[in-house]
Amino acid sequence: MMRRILSVLLENESGALSRVIGLFSQRGYNIESLTVAPTDDPTLSRMTIQTVGDEKVLEQIEKQLHKLVDVLRVQRAGTGRAR
């Protein structure tokens, strides 16, 4: 299993956080850690998600996040082996 930390820039809109969390919930992906913070731009928020899975699952998570309407950018902030 691999651990991945993703930095997600999304619009600060009602329901945006819920849609991201819903993606994980509906597909059975695990969130180990979640942080949401404002950015310098009040219309945007940054979400940092730590998740685990095999390489295929982690790639799928990134692809699905990119498809969400409120998500503007997804970046890998860290990768490593899960303990």
DSSP classification of residue 68 = S
d(CA 44, CA 4): 22
- Pairing type for strands 44-53 and 2-11 reads antiparallel
Please say whether the beta carbons of 78 and 2 come within 8 A.
no
67 lies in some domain: yes
42 lies in some domain: yes
Per residue in 44-75, pLDDT (tens digit) is 999 999 999 999 999 999 999 999 999 999 99
Enter the pTM of the model: 0.89
54 lies in some domain: yes
24 lies in some domain: yes
Confidence at residue 80, expressed as pLDDT on a 0 to 100 scale:
72
83 lies in some domain: no
Confidence at residue 78, expressed as pLDDT on a 0 to 100 scale:
77
Give 28's pLDDT tier (boundaries 50, 70, 90).
very high
Work out how many domains the chain is built from and give that number: 1
Please say whether the beta carbons of 23 and 80 come within 8 A.
no
**What residue ranges in the chain does DSSP mark as E strands?**
2-11, 31-38, 44-53, 71-81
Q: Which domain holds residue 70?
A: 2-78
Q: Is residue 83 scored above 70 in pLDDT? A: no
Query: In this structure, what CATH number is given to the domain that contains residue 57?
Result: 3.30.70.260
